[in-house]
């Protein structure tokens, strides 16, 4: 089996044997979204207006919460040293890890989002567009997040630092994704937003593994 597929299956296996690391961000996602109707208003008209924004902010924070674990354990136990000293491509090894991270956080968020959309009275069209934006943009969240995670890998108590590094880069995704959903609710065209999210995905797919590889090498020195 190819080493990159092995890295992917290893990361999935490690995460599934330690389920709390996967479940905590998802629980955070569900709980934080379901608190909004209690705090703001249970009225359908109010909630359906802000539903996309709430789900998008919560999914972004949930991804952020899960990013600390991306490289941390492999740094502590020395597996990263083995990856760096291996003759295989470090950016591709990192890409496999990012893909595993997306499968474990992005996919469950996408699958949970229609349910939470119904909680918040989002109409069918809104839910459909919400899922499309999540599908297009959650990989970008994992990819961009890996840059931050690799920069802080040797730093202790780095939770806040990661947010400061990464959140500004997440903002454009947040703006375009949530505006796509609210425009779709009014029956307007959303091609522009989707193209932008796709462009962001391609850009981060091209650059994030390379930048993370450089950052990890610096962290290991």
Given the rule CB under 8 A, which residues bind other proteins?
A: 1, 3, 6-7, 10, 13-14, 17-18, 73-74, 76-79, 81-88, 217, 220-221
- Alpha carbon dihedral 151, 17, 108, 145, in 10-degree steps, equals 0
User: For 133-167, b where at least 16 C-beta lie within 10 A, e where not — what string?
Assistant: bbebbbbbbbbbbbbbbbbbbbeeebeeebbebbe
How many other β-carbons are positioned within 10 Å of the β-carbon of residue 127? 22
* 8 A C-beta contact, residue 101 and residue 66: yes
* 8 A C-beta contact, residue 47 and residue 61: no
* Distance in Å, CB of 100 to other proteins, minimum: 13
* Distance in Å, CB of 89 to other proteins, minimum: 9
* Cβ proximity to other proteins, 1 vs 160, nearer residue: 1
* Distance in Å, CB of 72 to other proteins, minimum: 12
* Cβ proximity to other proteins, 16 vs 118, nearer residue: 16
* Distance in Å, CB of 84 to other proteins, minimum: 5
* Cβ proximity to other proteins, 81 vs 125, nearer residue: 81
| Residue 1 to residues 7, 13, 98, 220, Cα–Cα distance (Å) | 10, 16, 19, 28
Mapping DSSP onto H, E and C, the string for 42-70 reads CCHHHHHHHHHHHHHHHHHHHHHHHHCHH
* Cβ proximity to other proteins, 15 vs 211, nearer residue: 15
* Cβ proximity to other proteins, 4 vs 28, nearer residue: 4
- Alpha carbon dihedral 13, 14, 17, 21, in 10-degree steps, equals -120
* Distance in Å, CB of 85 to other proteins, minimum: 4
* Cβ proximity to other proteins, 3 vs 165, nearer residue: 3
* Distance in Å, CB of 18 to other proteins, minimum: 5
């Amino acid at each position: 089996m190819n080493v990159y597929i092995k890295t992917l299956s290893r990361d999935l296996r490690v995460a599934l044997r330690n389920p709390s690391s996967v479940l905590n961000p998802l629980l955070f996602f569900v709980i934080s979204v379901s608190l909004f109707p209690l705090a703001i208003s249970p009225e359908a008209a109010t909630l359906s207006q802000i539903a996309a924004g709430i789900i998008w902010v919560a999914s972004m924070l949930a991804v952020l919460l899960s990013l600390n674990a991306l490289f941390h354990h492999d740094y502590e136990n020395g597996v990263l040293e083995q990856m760096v000293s291996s003759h295989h491509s470090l950016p591709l090894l990192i890409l496999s890890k990012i893909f595993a991270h997306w499968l474990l956080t992005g996919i469950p968020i996408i699958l949970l989002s229609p349910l939470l959309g119904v909680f918040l009275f989002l109409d069918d069209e809104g839910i459909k567009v919400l899922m499309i934006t999540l599908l297009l943009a959650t990989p970008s969240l994992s990819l961009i997040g890996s840059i931050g995670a690799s920069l802080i890998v040797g730093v202790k108590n780095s939770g806040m630092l990661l947010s400061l590094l990464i959140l500004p880069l997440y903002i454009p995704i947040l703006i375009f994704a949530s505006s796509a959903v609210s425009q779709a609710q009014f029956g307007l065209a959303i091609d522009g937003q989707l193209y932008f999210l796709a462009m962001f995905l391609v850009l981060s797919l091209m650059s994030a593994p390379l930048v993370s590889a450089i950052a990890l090498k610096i962290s290991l020195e």
